[in-house]
A and B are shown apart, each in its own frame.
Chain A
Amino acid sequence: NAGVTQTPKFQVLKTGQSMTLQCAQDMNHNSMYWYRQDPGMGLRLIYYSASEGTTDKGEVPNGYNVSRLNKREFSLRLESAAPSQTSVYFCASRKGQGLSYEQYFGPGTRLTVT
């Protein structure tokens, strides 16, 4: 089991460029999440998908779109990158059953927008 994988690990974009961050999990989890992490601010939820076919906005969705491609994959797209989107992006997944609320994180994508 690889758990949660993310690609790419590092990316540099120019302002206005677009890109898609990829995330996949092999744990058969129902729910998947995208977070961004900025210094001193902890983790903030961008979008999440409670189950295949559904997506919902989190705390900071502006400037992002997501696609839950299938149960395994959840991608995050930046249509027109801005310097304010320089951050570390983490994908996470959760089984989504019963009382268990444990989320498991990928290794992160470090994005710099110049």
Chain B
Amino acid sequence: GQQLNQSPQSMFIQEGEDVSMNCTSSSIFNTWLWYKQDPGEGPVLLIALYKAGELTSNGRLTAQFGITRKDSFLNISASIPSDVGIYFCAGLLIQGAQKLVFGQGTRLTINP
């Protein structure tokens, strides 16, 4: 099936640092979504992107829909302890059924 390559797989940072992660694919997507999952919980939607080149912010989070439609980026500025968790990207293919494809996740750990 279609795959999204999400990187890095894990990050260990100091509180206050900025964070960057991305998802890439060989396929074109027409929607990108970013989710965060806390331990023992379901994923929570953070940001949705619908247009190539779109840059959208949600507080300290900023995500971009790559101009080639094959990638997306998520940045977190000035990280705080509650940012700990697993971040997933998800994409909707232009062709085919209306189903999301998920990346493998980026596990974020913050040292206080």
Binding site for B on A (CB under 8 A): 4, 31, 40-45, 48, 50, 56, 58-59, 90, 92, 99-108
Contacts and interface: CB of A to CB of B under 8 A. Distances in A.
B45 A104 contact: yes
A105 B88 CA distance: 13
Interface of B: 1, 6, 31, 33, 35, 40-45, 48, 50, 88, 90, 92, 97-100, 102-105
A92 B105 CA distance: 18
A58 B99 contact: yes
A65 to B, nearest CB: 18
B45 A102 contact: yes
B42 A105 contact: yes
Contacts of A45: 99-100
A71 to B, nearest CB: 18
Contacts of B41: 107-108
